[in-house]
């Protein structure tokens, strides 16, 4: 009997440990690990976000008539848009809301975290892990 390879399918989501800027585990004040829960490369949501990112890059390149600098100027914003689209949420952390009313949506808080350049290590780490199939072949996110 042959091995059923479908048993090795990647999960659509994963709960992934965050790391600090020095590569150590990112922990809260009580020593608890912080996580990101995100869609992976095999999911419909991830594929849509990736296609949208590429579509925007192509449109800008066409408008710029091949001027590379015009497309590079938006690479950070494109990364943030992609990450917001594939991030389900963070576990164990919060980000101060701009008003006492709080965040209008969880997506607004997610965007604020990724747009905060002083937390760029989180943005870069999450981008790295959500584009790596390995992180979605272990276990799915539980929520």
Map tokens 């009313």 to a residue. Answer: 101
Report the relative pairing of strands 13-17 and 87-91 from DSSP bridges: unpaired
> Exposed, middle or buried, 81 (CB in 10 Å: 0-12/13-18/19+)?
middle
- Could you read off the pLDDT of 26-59 as tens digits, one per residue? 999 999 999 999 999 999 999 999 999 989 888 8
User: In this structure, what DSSP letter does residue 101 have?
Assistant: T
Q: Which residue has the higher pLDDT, 113 or 142?
A: 113
Both tokens of residue 67?
């001027």
In eight-state DSSP terms, residue 42 is T
Question: Element (H or E) spanning 14, and its range?
Answer: strand 13-17
Q: If you average pLDDT over residues 57-69, what whole number do you get? A: 72
pLDDT band at 73; cut points 50, 70, 90: low
Q: Is the dihedral of CA 89, 93, 99, 100 positive or negative?
A: positive
Residue 12 confidence class, pLDDT cut points 50, 70, 90: very high
The token duo for 68 is: 């590379």
């Amino acid at each position: 009997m042959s091995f059923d390879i479908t048993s090795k399918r990647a999960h659509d989501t994963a709960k992934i440990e965050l790391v600090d800027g020095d590569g150590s585990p990112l922990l809260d004040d009580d020593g608890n690990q912080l996580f990101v829960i995100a869609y992976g490369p095999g999911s419909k949501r991830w594929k849509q976000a990736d296609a949208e990112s590429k579509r925007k890059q192509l449109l800008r390149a066409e408008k710029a008539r091949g001027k590379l600098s015009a497309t590079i100027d938006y690479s950070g914003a494109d990364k943030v848009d992609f990450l917001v689209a594939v991030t389900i949420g963070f576990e164990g952390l919060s980000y101060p809301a701009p008003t006492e009313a709080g965040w209008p949506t969880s997506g607004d808080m997610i965007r604020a975290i990724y747009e905060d350049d002083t937390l760029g290590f989180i943005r870069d780490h999450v981008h790295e892990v959500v584009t790596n199939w390995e992180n979605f072949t272990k276990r799915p996110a539980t929520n």
